[in-house]
Amino acid sequence: MQTGPGKMRAMKRHEWHERTEEGEKRTVRATRQGGGWKLQSRTTSEPEWHLHDPPLREDLEELLEVLRRKYQRGRTPYEHIVELERVLKQ
């Protein structure tokens, strides 16, 4: 989304779906707040979202792939990718 010449407005929430080992659908939601990431998940059988603090490494790795795909389409800033790569190196 363009907000002006050469400026991009970043999405702050990203969501993806996957299957658990038991075959249940799991939804993961990542929100960027204050320069950090908050990750939550739930399965179809769970009515409540579960906050992961600290976030699961597998979820952070998948978020990085989601961000890379969105960056290619101009839907997230490159700085978010660099920031998350830095977190994964720690």
45-79 per-position pLDDT tens digit: 999 999 999 999 999 999 999 999 999 999 999 99
Q: What are phi and psi of 83, to 5 degrees?
A: -60, -45
Higher pLDDT, 70 or 34: 70
The mean pLDDT of the chain is 89
Alpha helix locations (H) across the chain?
57-72, 78-89
Q: Residue 12: what pLDDT?
A: 76
Question: Could you tell me the pTM of the whole model?
Answer: 0.83
Structurally, how many domains does the chain consist of? Answer: 1
To the nearest 10°, report the CA torsion of 80, 31, 19, 61: 30
Domain housing 81: 6-89
Is residue 3's pLDDT more than 70?
Answer: no
Instruction: Let me know if residue 1 belongs to a domain.
Output: no
Separation between Cα atoms, residue 46 and residue 32, nearest integer Å: 23
